[in-house]
Structure 1
Amino acid sequence: MTNRERFLSALTFRPIDRIPLVEWNIRGSTMREWVKQGYPEGVPPAIFFDLDPYNVGVPIHLGMHPEFEERIMEDTGVYKIWRDKQGAVRKDFSKDMNPGFVTRTWLSFPVQSRDDFLKMKERYDSKDPERIPQNFKERAKILNLGVTTTHLSVPFLFWTARDWIGFENLCMMFYDDPSLVHEIFAFLTDFCIDVLRDRIRQVDIDVVELKEDMAYKHAPMISPHMFRTFMFPHYRRFIEFLKGNGVKLVYVDCDGYPGGLIPEFLEAGVDAISPVEIAAGNDVIQLREEYPRLGMLGGIDKRELAKDRKAIYQEVISKVPVMLEKGGYIPHVDHGIPHDVPLVNYLYYRELLTNLALGKSVREP
Structure 2
Amino acid sequence: MTESERLLMTLGFEKRTERGSVLETFFPWDKTVNNWCKQGLPEKFAASRLYPQAGSYMERYLSDEMTEPVYEYEKYLGFDGVKRMAFRIPFACFDTTVLDETLTYVVRQDTDGWIRKYHKNSNLVEELKAPVEEEKDWYTLKDKVREHLELYCTDENIGKVYGKYAQAHKRGDFSLRFRAQGFFWLPRTLLGIEGQMYAFYDMPEVIHDMNRFAVEVFREKHGKIFDIIQPEVMLFEEDLSGCNGPMISPDTFEEFVADYYRQLFPFLKEKGVKNIFVDTDGDFNRLIPQFIAAGVDGFLPMDVNAGMDIVKVRELYPGLKFIGGFNKLVIEQGKDAIDREFERILPVIRSGGYVPGCDHQATPDSTLENYRYYIRRLKVVMEESGAACS
| TM-score, length basis structure 1 | 0.88
Q: What does residue 119 of structure 1 align with?
A: 140
**Which residue of 1 is the match for residue 347 of structure 2?**
322
Give the Cα–Cα distance (whole angstroms) in 1 for the partners of residues 4 and 226 of structure 2: 18
Establish whether residue 130 from structure 1 lines up as the match of residue 152 from structure 2. Answer: yes
Match among 31, 39, 44 for residue 33 of structure 2: 31
CA deviations over 1:307-355 (Å, ceiling 9, x no partner): 1322222112211x21112211111111122111111211221121122
Closer, same or farther in 2 for the Cα pair 1:117/1:219, shift >3 Å?
same
* Helix, strand or coil at the partner of 2:323: strand
Query: Hey, what's the Cα distance between the residues in 1 that align with 2:329 and 2:320?
Result: 24
Query: 1:235 — aligned with what?
Result: 261
Separation of aligned partners in 2, 1:266 and 1:106:
35
Helix, strand or coil: the match of 2:276?
Answer: strand
Question: Which segment drifts farther, 164-173 or 252-261?
Answer: 252-261
User: Pairwise mapping of residues 120-269 of structure 1 onto structure 2 (< 5 A)?
Assistant: 120-125=141-146, 127-132=149-154, 133=157, 135-136=159-160, 138-139=163-164, 141-142=166-167, 143-269=169-295
Change (3 A) 1:181 1:56: closer
Unaligned runs of 5+ in 1: 98-102, 361-365
1:75-112 C-alpha deviation (Å, 9 max, x unpaired):
56765433222111223454797xxxxx8542220101
**Take 1:296 and 1:177, find their aligned partners in 2: how far apart are those partners?**
35
Looking at structure 2, the residues matched to 78 and 22 of structure 1 have their Cα atoms a distance apart, in angstroms, of 43
Inter-CA distance 245–38: structure 2 relative to 1 (3 Å threshold)? closer
Shift of 1:207: 2.3
Amino acid at match of 2:364: H
Q: Is the aligned partner of 1:345 residue 2:370?
A: yes
Q: Percent identity?
A: 28
1:90 aligns with 2:112: no
Q: Name stretches of at least 5 consecutive residues in structure 2 with no aligned partner.
A: 46-71, 386-390
Q: Deviations over 1:114-134 (max 9, x none)?
A: 111111112432852522526
Q: Structure 1 residues 311 and 176, CA, compared in 2 at 3 Å: closer, same or farther?
A: same
Question: 1:363 corresponds to which residue?
Answer: none
Residue 245 of structure 1: how far off its partner (Å): 2.3
Contact 1:206 1:248 (C-alpha < 8 Å) held by counterparts? yes
1:6 maps to: 6
**CA distance, structure 2, for counterparts of residue 135 and residue 48 of structure 1:** 29
Contact residue 82 and residue 89 of structure 1 kept, 8 A: yes
Aligned to 2:131: 110
SS of the equivalent of 1:185 reads helix
* Aligned residue in 2 for 1:67: 93
Please tell me whether the aligned partners of residues 215 and 257 of structure 1 are also in contact (alpha carbons under 8 angstroms).
yes
- 1:76–1:19 Cα change, 3 Å: farther
Structure 1 residues 194, 134: closer, same or farther in 2, change over 3 A?
A: closer
The amino acid that maps onto 2:234 is V
Amino acid at match of 1:131: C
Q: CA deviation at 1:138?
A: 4.6
CA distance in 2, matches of 1:254, 1:281: 13
Name the amino acid aligned to 1:42: K
SS of residue matched to 1:37? coil
How many Å apart are 1:146 and its aligned residue?
3.9
Query: For residues 279 and 300 of structure 1, what CA distance do their matches in structure 2 show?
Result: 10
CA contact (8 A) 1:127 1:195 kept: no
Q: Is the 8 A contact 1:11 1:272 kept in 2?
A: no
Structure 1 residue runs of 4 or more that deviate by more than 6 Å after TM superposition: none
Q: Is the 8 A contact 1:301 1:334 kept in 2?
A: yes
Q: TM-score w.r.t. structure 2 length? A: 0.83
Deviations 1:22-81 (A, max 9, x none): 1222222111211222223225532432111123536xx332256211234455676543
1:19 and 2:25 correspond: no
The answer as to whether partners of 2:5 and 2:172 remain within 8 angstroms in 1 is no
CA distance in 2, matches of 1:54, 1:202: 17
Give the CA RMSD over aligned residues: 2.5
Q: Which has the higher helix share?
A: 2
Deviation by residue 1:231-255 (Cα, 9 ceiling, x = unmatched): 2221111001111222211111112
Equivalent-residue separation in structure 2 for 1:257 and 1:208 (angstroms) = 21
Partner of 2:290, secondary structure, is: helix
**Take 1:134 and 1:192, find their aligned partners in 2: how far apart are those partners?**
13
Q: Which amino acid aligns with 2:382?
A: A
How much has 1:269 moved relative to structure 2?
A: 0.8
Tell which deviates more after alignment, 167-176 or 216-225: 216-225
